[in-house]
Each structure stands twice: as C-alpha cells, then as structure tokens.
Amino acid sequence: MESPNLHYNYEPLLGPEHIRTLTLQGTSNGIISCTIQQISVTEGGYQALSYVWGSEEKLFHAQVLDADGRPVGTIPLTKNLNDALQDLWNAAELTSKLFWIDQICIDQEDGEKSHQVALMGKIYENAKRVVTYLGPVEDEEVEEERLELLKRLYNHFLPNLEILSQMWDLYTAYHNRSSLPVSKLPNDLAGDAISEERWQSLVDLCFGEWATRLWIVQEQTLNTDTVMLHGSRLLSWETVAIISMLFYLDFIPRKHVDRFWRKGRRPFEENPWDISESIFAIWRTYRLKRKTPGGVITSSRDILSNMFRFQNLQCRDHRDRIYALLAISSDALELGISPDYSKSPQKIFLDASISIINHRKDLVMLNFACHMDNLSDFTHPSWAIALPQPVHLQPNLLEPVTFRPHPQPNVHPPALLHSRGKSSVLIVRGRIVDRISLATAPLYSSRSFDLGIGDAAYMETCSQYIGALSDVLYNLGITLENAAALCRAMILNPTWQPLQGQGSLTDQTAYHFWCYLRYLARSIEEDTLRLGLENHTAVRSDQLIKILAPSILRLEIDSFSITNKLSAIEDNAVDHVWKYAYMEGRSFCITKEKRVCSCSSKIESGDVIAAFCGADRLFVLRPTGGGRYRLVGDAYVDGLMFGEAYEGVNADEVDYDIGLI
C-alpha cells in the first residue's frame, strides 16, 4: 500500500473515449476523501462541476481511497476547488456524490490534457447535470435575505422571459423594453424599501467571477439540466442568471451595480454590462435548449462568431480562446482544429486562421484580426488571430454585413498564402482607394464615463471626445455637410435615421451632431465648476458650436447663447446619438480626398485605405516597404461604403494583388 502522503499515481486511461470520475466519500479535519474510477464518456450518470480555479497555488489536497477504502495518495487542490468539494459533500439536495471535475479527473502532470479537453463537449453533453459553484456562504442570515430577494425578483419578472429569449441580444432588448409586460419593480422593492447592503450582496452573487469565465459558455449550453450551488444550497441557474440582465435593462436600478464597481470590488478592466451581454447569450441558448425536444440544439455560430461574441470572458490559458468554444462552433469539424497544448498560443492562432481562410468565401478573418492586438508582435501576421487586446482597449468595430464597399462580397478562395522566409504573406485582391492625411488619437472611455460618475476622469473623456471631433471639423471645414458626415462616422450604421426634424436629411443629421457636441461641452462646464478644475477645451468647443448655430437653428448668431440649457427636443437628439454611437477605440480621421473617416486602432498619417474583394468593410493598412502592408484596423469612410470607389469601373480590371504580413 502506498503512503497516503504521496501524490496519487494516475492509472492510464483505458481508451480514447474514457474519462475518470470521482465519488466523494467524506470529509475529516477539512480534508475531503474520494475514490476515482474510469468510465466511457457516453455512460453518463456523473455530475460535471463548473467552477473558478482562482489562484494557481495548491495549498490543499484530496485523499484518494482504493476500492477497499484505504488511502493510496493525494491530489493537490486550489482553495476554490477545496471549498467546492466541501460544499458538494454537505449539499443534502445532491444525493449522488459522483462527479467529473477537471482538476482531479485529468492528470495535470501528464500529456493527456489535450485529448481530454477534446472530449469536453461530450463530457458536458453526457453529464447527468452541470453544477456551477458560486463559492462558500459567509453569512447565513445575509444568504437567507439574498435568496428571498432572488425569488421575488424572478417571479415578478417571469412574464418577460419568453419575449426576451426571442430577442437577438441585450442591446436590442434595451431598445424594445416597451414591448415587455413588466418594466418596474414591485412597490415593496422599489425606492429605499430594500437596503443598499442587500442590493450589493445580490450584485456580488450575480456578477461574480463565475460569470466571467469563457468555459461557462459550453458548460451551460451543452446540458439540459444546469443548477448552481452557493455554499451547500442548490439554486436555479436561470434565477441567478437573469439578474444581471435586469440590471442592464434598468428594471432594477443600475446605480446598485455602479456603486459596487466604484468600490473596486472587481478588476478595472471588467465592464459589468459586457458580463450581462455574455450571460444573456448563454441564457438565450439555455432557454432554447429546454424548449427543444431532447434538448438537442445544432450550433449555428462559427468559431469566429463565438470568439467575437464572448471576447470579454476570461480564460487562464490563451489557447482556450479557441479550445473552450470548439464544442459549440458549427465549423469546428470542418476546420479540423483539435486541442494541442504542446503548441504555443501564437502557433495555434496562426494554424486556426489559415484553416478559417481556406474554408470561407469571405475575409471575415480580417474583421476579427482588427479586434486583436495585431501591432505589438511583428513576428505574428497582422491578419491572423492574435492575443486579445485588454478589455478596456478593445475597439468598436463595424457591424458585420452592414456595408458593401466592394462589388464582389464573396469569392473563393478569398486570399492566397505565400511564404516569405519564416512569415506567411496573405495575398488579397483589391486596391487602395484613399490615404489618411490627418488622424486623431483613438478614443477610450474612462471607467467613470461608462458608469456615469461625474469626476475628473469623466470630464477628461468628454474633453477627448470634443477634441477629436473638433480637430476633424476645424481641419476639414465647419459645414453642415461635414458635421453630418462626422455624425454618421460616429454611428457606423446606415439604417440609423435622425429623429423627426426640419430641413433635409443632412440638416437633421448635423443637428443631432450639434446637440451631442453641446451636451459634451455642458458636461465639462458643469464638472469644471463643481470640481474646481480647468477647462482646456471650452474656447474651441464653444467657438465650433457658435459657428454651426446659425445654420443649425437658422438664427442670427446673436440669438443663440452657449450657456443655454438643452431643450427637451435637444436632449432627445443627444440620447438618439448616445445610444447608437460607436466611438470606443476609434480614431477620427480626414483622408487625402477630404472625406471623414472613422477607423479602429491607432491610425497614422500615411496609412492607406483599401477595398478588398470578399470583404464587407474597408481596411486601414500600414506600408512596410517592399510592396507589403500590415493590417491596422477597419475603416468607415463616409461616401465610400457602398461601392462608390468602383462606380464606372470594372473591379477585375482595376484590382491588383496586395500582400499583408
């Protein structure tokens, strides 16, 4: 018999479809004991645990027993898993103590991880149930109050859920809130009826670390029975999941989430509303799954769509940006991607990118690459999947299939790969249609701006916005036409229309821009007075507003005062721009041909704008010499988004090969 203090010696798996499961046997002096057995993954019967690894430090251990109950070794555990095992054992509602848990059931020191991760989809599909662990309960009295509040909120807003599940995303749901039957809290929960401490405990639970993990996407969508475990008590998965969505929709006041984030209880780079969007996407699939006979859903999203949709969720290993989504991606089998942890993330990203390009009839790979950090590592192709940008530096991109700047949106193959030394050159067909002559710095919202906190950082964001917009108009010319073009470049959506107003469509669009500029200027002015800070943008912004005022209002300049408060109509125009503006991480530019341009990433004078066959947008390229370019970002160029650059010419005659490195 082995010493119980020795590390457990895993027996090799019996076959390619085999996994290990564990059965909890008890706990003594804070040490959990279990037995480990092997089964075919299709046998099922086990419960799969979804949990946060937390710190990599393994200060705890589980004792493994043989079939006769004798200790045969130990397996090191992280604190989070040790807490989970204790609560799983004590959970009376979990009558079965048979589980699959990655940290124990996969030999972490052997080369079997790649093979077992490839089975993850089957592991979660065949599990009897998926249990999401939310962490230990620290105060039973607080927990009782929290669960009572959860139950009340769920039952109250239950009539909304079926309608919500039919909407594409939370952004759409927010703008269609009027169609939902319940939009207000019950009277006994509104106002100050519930203490802020109780709301904070609810936010802590529903926006917890569990909600930020990339792996939860497949863990929660591949099984028909999902529950949550907080402490040793089971909770309905849906009851907890919908709370973050209700905060997003402002049915529960957002101020409670704002206050939680202000306290620094979560990392700076996390945005609560990104978390809500991701949870909604998972929940929507969850609802559809439960309505489908047998709970079987055919995935309709490809790997790039899934990577983009869940880009803000976190994973400890960058390779899991792809591997964690394979089981729910419609093209995974076709692409031939399989987990291999012996490869570097860069190698995995490049191989996946090449496979995606070879199997598609478009250049959607370039769209996705614009969202990645494609300029830091010059040894990695700029057109390929790369390490993600930090969340707070990720740029807004043009919506897919919105524009058609090239007359040929589909072609196969869309690009060819050539080797250039150790690098891969992507050869695409198209042409340069314009060049950047002036570029402003990319705009990034401060945390205060996102959460509506009127402090110095909020004022700085407003100042940066005004500075960028003013630079473009002062250099291009302060006209209604240019103001309208800049407004369109802020919104990036051809279906957007200004609210009802006077004059032509250009006049109305310019009016909305002018109102938005006034709103930013007044916000800075109010914060300047309240905080006792200097306003460095006042002269320029006030002058710009005054110059536009006569044309906008059709009044003499003396009839308008910059100090006037915005009217209700002007406030509505501001809100109409605010809701739809895509400015995060985008640079506002002027092209050589005097066009207004909005580009993702940091743009430089001399960058070129290209139209490609097979692309649904324009792209910014940076010349590197030798006729090669690096992809920088996507571009909205007002007046070139619907094939205007090809009017009167044949694309086959004017296009040429462009090499991207």
Say how far apart CA 539 and CA 227 lie, in whole Å.
Answer: 58
Apex 413 CA angle, 412 and 418, nearest 5:
170
Structure tokens at 163: 């309608």
Say how far apart CA 280 and CA 331 lie, in whole Å.
Answer: 23
Other Cβ atoms within 10 Å of 566 Cβ, number: 14
Residue-level pLDDT at 528: 73
Residue 146: name the closest of 272, 220, 243, 49 by CA: 243
Residue-level pLDDT at 293: 63
Residue-level pLDDT at 1: 38
Residue-level pLDDT at 297: 55
Residue-level pLDDT at 5: 63
Ranges of the chain with pLDDT below 50:
1-3
Residue with token string 């919506």? 399
Say how far apart CA 37 and CA 42 lie, in whole Å.
Answer: 15
SS3 636: strand
CA distances in angstroms from 210 to 117, 216, 272, listed in the order given = 20, 8, 13
Residue-level pLDDT at 311: 87
Residue-level pLDDT at 2: 42
In the DSSP assignment, the letter for residue 357 is: H
pLDDT single digits (tens) 314-327 = 999 999 999 999 99
Domain boundaries, the chain: 18-127, 140-295, 447-583
Residue-level pLDDT at 324: 96
Residue 494: name the closest of 641, 379, 595 by CA: 641
Residue with token string 């205007």? 644
Residue-level pLDDT at 68: 94
SS3 96: coil
User: Which residues make Cβ contacts (< 8 Å) with residue 586, sequence separation at least 6?
Assistant: 395, 396, 442, 443, 598, 599, 600
